[in-house]
Amino acid sequence: MPICEADPWRLQYFERADCPPDVFIPTEDSDAWLWHPAHRWVYDKIAIAQSQGLDAAPHGVPPPRFPVFSKPIVNLKGMGIGSRILTSATEYEANLTAGHMWMPLLEGRHISSDVAVVDGEPRWWRHVTGAPSGEGTFDHWTVHAARDAEVEGYCGAWIRERLARYTGILNIETIGGRMIEVHLRMSDQWPDLCGAGWVDAVVRLYQAHRWDFPDIDRRDGVSVVRPSDTLASALETLARHEYEQAPVVEDGRLVGVLGRADIMRQFQLREALEVAEMQPPRA
């Protein structure tokens, strides 16, 4: 089947890929959970924490110390919904929630990393950082060209030990170099920024269990339009990435989708209004 994509505006990234009908490539956690039963345990965030030697338990088991970070144990839609910092036993008791867990409150860089894996061996990495906008959301994400030796060393060793038979793309979120979430899928917001031919390499990864992407054109990039951007700036973003459409993001939330046709209509309307204003008044 084609690459499974739930958001219509993102289909532009994959519509040219030659994906055989019997190759299953998830971009949604719900599909990944169904298609990778041997590895779906990674969606249990208590298991992810404990696999790294971090204290973690479901609500009902009192934390030995505070503060802790509380969040759902498993949540395939909006992984961080209901997350909060708990600073005391009183606050913990007041926020006991079925299906939630606690773990240490980690500090440091928050990084989202995509990894191409062949039989448990990482073959390619790309790292993304978010610009916080408050309340746990991000204004935008930056896709970095640079490697990250700390994340790749730590997470690479974990992948080799825990996912020895996995082949596909992984998305791993880390804070301070420790994993907080693992996803059996790619980040589908910015595949174009990984370089020409990357999506085709992903198809070969799932089809033939090999990774042969040359990765010779790494560069930093931001792939969103913000409401404060000018029309000219938004059009430049679309042209630079050869988009027909791009998401409009405000305070970390999708507020709309802007297309080239929308921008050109606005330019035409402005031009028509300027022409009309230049016409002499009728007698």
Count CA atoms within 13 Å of residue 154 on its CB side: 14
Nearest residue to 183 via CA among 192, 194, 195, 173:
173
What's the CA gap between 159 and 79, in Å, rounded?
21
| Residue boundaries of the structural domains of the chain | 8-35+107-208, 49-104, 231-278
- Residue 129: Cβ-neighbour burial (10 angstroms; 0-12, 13-18, 19+): middle
pTM for the structure as a whole: 0.80
What's domain 49-104's architecture? Answer: 2-Layer Sandwich (3.30)
Q: Could you read off the pLDDT of 123-180 as tens digits, one per residue?
A: 999 999 976 655 455 556 788 999 999 999 999 999 999 999 999 999 999 999 999 9
The per-residue pLDDT for 1 is 46
pLDDT of residue 28: 93
Pick among 3.30.470, 3.30.1490, 3.10.50, 2.60.40: CATH of 8-35+107-208: 3.30.470
What is the SS3 assignment for 112? strand
Q: Are 202 and 168 in contact (CB under 8 A)?
A: no
The rounded average pLDDT for each run of 10 residues, N- to C-terminus, in the chain (283 residues) is 70 84 94 97 98 98 97 84 93 97 95 97 94 58 90 98 97 96 90 88 97 91 61 63 57 57 67 60 57
